[in-house]
Amino acid sequence: MNFCTKNIVIGVTGSIAAYKTPELVRLLKAKGVNVKVVMTQDAKQFITELTLQAVSGSPVHSQLLDPTTEASMSHITLAKWADLIVIAPATANVIAKLNVGIADDLLSTLYLASAAPTALVPAMNQQMWRHIATQQNVQQLAQRGVVFWGPDEGLQACGDDGPGRMIEPSQIMEKITSHFAPKLLQGKKIVITAGPTRERLDPVRYISNFSSGKMGYALAQSARDLGAQVVLISGPTQLKPPGNVKTIAVESASEMHRAVFEHLPDCDVFIGCAAVADFRAKEIATQKIKKGMLTDLKLEKNIDILQEIGKRQDKPFLVGFAAESENLIENAKAKLLQKNLDMVVANDISEDDSGFNSDFNCVSVITATKQMDFELMPKRDLSEALMQLIYQQLQK
């Protein structure tokens, strides 16, 4: 996504969580976003203007009445310049001020003077967040169109444990990406499988593979950002489920099969990104199998989920992944035909810097009429490119 034309004001208020804001600004600048930072006076007790100026590449604004800028009415100029205002961290105090319309500093005045969408990223003590006054302020601001990103739960600087932690800069970046993404897939239902499956042998052993689920989760995020209704059916991973995505955790291929067909009705696009085990134990031992008996294991084939969907007369647009260690293109083309796919994404798992467990991938996308090759890139970027391709195919 091209952010180079986007203007974002980052507001910083007086919270210990302000130490996270420079990383958010750095992430935005890395994407080419035009960023200007506005600080409250209390924010300066936790982080310096110089730090934020260094990472943003622009002067930091903090004075409402600054003789050097007041001739140009800087708060009005900033208000008109912004495409989005993000206040991170947003304290209970600033949330209350914005709700009642107090404008006694640059940030609160800027908020009232701007027609730009505003997102607040709360950070405060858990009891302050739970207090009825804060909750009423949040509710009233939300009714006026202000969005809230977070808070998260966990151990806080004061020692309490509960809701009120500011979400991480990477999560805020995902929210901003989603905000600006064109809603090309609005009204579409997309079901995605991700991760490995585990096929139990006995109470302590199972058959599985090295899939991390990163590609499938990235696809779910990109589909969500484009406005789709997303169902993510995931085998066991260490990944945090994406926000605003219905995520269903499964373990075995049989469980994944049931979940897929439960959510297949009204599905417009199905993406089989999971590395589903080809075989399972014919019988699962109730006691741990002794080493000497492991050679006597009897296996049977799992149901091929993609192939089953491909046989349906009402099949959705069907996308499969071909993870191969040799004859990449030939094997991928064969899979496209055998499983009646509309698109197959082929990746070479023999490469150390891509594929399983990596944050990067290098793939070839094959349809019935053409092949498109993608160089090594982050899976998040690749997922955006793949969803754009799927959108284009749906228009035909």
Give the CATH number, domain containing residue 288.
3.40.50.10300
| Predicted local distance difference test score (pLDDT) of residue 75 | 66
Residue with the bigger pLDDT between 380 and 263: it is 263
Burial class for 106, CB neighbours closer than 10 Å (0-12, 13-18, 19+): buried
Residues 341 and 259 reside in one and the same domain: yes
Q: Which residues of 35-51 are buried (b: 16+ CB within 10 A; e: fewer)?
A: bbbbbbebbbebbebeb
Give the β-pairing of 343-348 and 360-366.
antiparallel
Tell which of 158, 180, 202 closes a domain.
180
Residues 302 and 319 reside in one and the same domain: yes
Q: Is the pLDDT of residue 16 over 70?
A: yes
Residue 142 falls inside a structural domain: yes
Residues 234 and 383 reside in one and the same domain: yes
Residues 197 and 346 reside in one and the same domain: yes
How many other C-beta atoms are found inside a 10 Å radius of the C-beta of residue 286? Answer: 7
Residue 290 falls inside a structural domain: yes
Q: Is the pLDDT of residue 326 over 90?
A: no
Residues 160 and 197 reside in one and the same domain: no
Q: Which of 158, 267, 273, 362 is catalytic?
A: 158
Residues 173 and 195 reside in one and the same domain: no
Domain CATH for 148: 3.40.50.1950
Closest C-alpha among 245, 249, 247 to residue 178: 245
Range of the domain at 259: 189-394
Residue 2 falls inside a structural domain: no
| Predicted local distance difference test score (pLDDT) of residue 86 | 98
Confidence band, pLDDT 50/70/90 cuts, at residue 293: confident
**What average pLDDT does this structure show over 353-367?**
84
Distance CA 147, CA 370 (A): 42
Task: Quote the pTM value.
Answer: 0.74
Tell which of 139, 157, 180 closes a domain.
180
| Predicted local distance difference test score (pLDDT) of residue 66 | 64
Distance CA 180, CA 384 (A): 13
Residues 116 and 218 reside in one and the same domain: no
Backbone angles phi, psi at 51, to 5 degrees: -60, -50
Tell me the per-residue pLDDT of 113-141, one tens digit each, with 9 for 90 and over: 999 999 999 999 999 999 999 999 999 99
Burial class for 385, CB neighbours closer than 10 Å (0-12, 13-18, 19+): middle
Q: Is the pLDDT of residue 352 over 80?
A: no
Residues 134 and 216 reside in one and the same domain: no
- What DSSP element (H or E) covers 381? helix 379-394
- Average pLDDT over the chain reads 91
Q: Is the pLDDT of residue 1 over 70?
A: no
Residues 28 and 128 reside in one and the same domain: yes
Peptide bond into 89 cis (omega under 30): yes
| Predicted local distance difference test score (pLDDT) of residue 178 | 85
158 flagged as catalytic:
yes
Residue 35 falls inside a structural domain: yes
The total number of structural domains in the chain stands at: 2
Residue with the bigger pLDDT between 352 and 265: it is 265
| Predicted local distance difference test score (pLDDT) of residue 379 | 92
| Predicted local distance difference test score (pLDDT) of residue 100 | 96
pLDDT above 90 covers what percent of the chain? 73
**What average pLDDT does this structure show over 281-304?**
85
Residues 11 and 133 reside in one and the same domain: yes
Q: Taking a C-beta distance cutoff of 8 angstroms, is the pair 362, 351 a contact?
A: yes
Q: Longest Cα pair distance anywhere in the chain, in angstroms? A: 86
Tell which of 124, 159, 180 closes a domain.
180
Tell me the per-residue pLDDT of 197-220, one tens digit each, with 9 for 90 and over: 999 999 999 999 999 999 999 999
Residues 140 and 263 reside in one and the same domain: no
**Residues in Cβ contact with 251 at an 8 Å cutoff, skipping those fewer than 6 apart:** 197, 198, 235, 236
Tell me the per-residue pLDDT of 137-162, one tens digit each, with 9 for 90 and over: 999 999 999 999 999 888 877 788 88
Our separate counts of H helices and E strands in the chain read 13, 19
Q: What would the DSSP string read from start to end of 41-96?
A: TGGGGTS-HHHHHHHHSSPPB--SS-TTTGGGTHHHHHHHH-SEEEEEEE-HHHHH
| Predicted local distance difference test score (pLDDT) of residue 71 | 46
Instruction: Decide: helix, strand or coil at residue 39.
Output: strand
Burial class for 273, CB neighbours closer than 10 Å (0-12, 13-18, 19+): buried
Residues 225 and 367 reside in one and the same domain: yes
- Alpha helices per DSSP H over the chain: 21-30, 49-56, 74-81, 92-100, 106-113, 126-130, 132-143, 169-180, 214-225, 253-263, 305-310, 328-338, 379-394
Distance CA 19, CA 202 (A): 48
**What average pLDDT does this structure show over 168-191?**
92
Q: Which residues of 353-367 are buried (b: 16+ CB within 10 A; e: fewer)?
A: ebbbebebbbbbbbb
Tell me the per-residue pLDDT of 21-76, one tens digit each, with 9 for 90 and over: 999 999 999 989 999 999 999 999 999 999 999 999 999 998 876 665 544 456 68
**Two structure tokens written together for 94:** 């600033």
**Two structure tokens written together for 226:** 């484009």
**What average pLDDT does this structure show over 74-103?**
92
Residue 106 falls inside a structural domain: yes
| Predicted local distance difference test score (pLDDT) of residue 74 | 62
